[in-house]
Structure 1
Amino acid sequence: MEFTVHTPGGRFVTIGATEVASRARVAGGAAHGHAATVNGRPGVIAWNEDGTPLSLLAFTVTDGRITEITAVVDPAELALMDLPDPV
């Protein structure tokens, strides 16, 4: 399992199912998002109240298991993406 987070300060990678689960548990209650397809992958997008994207999660699924999670929380990177309109 690999968890990659794109932030304004750089890219950070966490490897290992236990470590990834620990980080996801901490961040899980912080935001509410809506399901989306991200480059053909299942994902979740959360928006700010003003309609700008807050965060994006994209999941790689192999044999029915999540094997990789990519998170983007860098506003500059999110602004360059072709994301669906907020729900």
Structure 2
Amino acid sequence: MQMIESEVPADRRAVLLESITALDESVFEGQNLDRMVAAIVILFLDGVGMDEILDEAQSDWRDLLVDAGLGGADWRVVMERRFGTSA
């Protein structure tokens, strides 16, 4: 969760962390959790509402990845560019 501390303003972190920890990991069907969290963080920072992000995460995690730009085979490169880290 280092990306959250480094990228998300302190006054917005609690909402994000609460929402992420409340998610049932099984909705991601074994996908890389760092990738899924990165998608949530990207959308959150881009101004998408947390309710919308959580609805999408629970209904179809694939759309979540695509909307965040992490849906392609180059998702590790995208994460590296955005956060300076990859999973």
* TM-score of the pair, normalised by structure 2: 0.29
Bigger strand fraction: 1
Structure 1 length normalisation: TM-score?
A: 0.29
Point out the structure with the larger helix share: 2
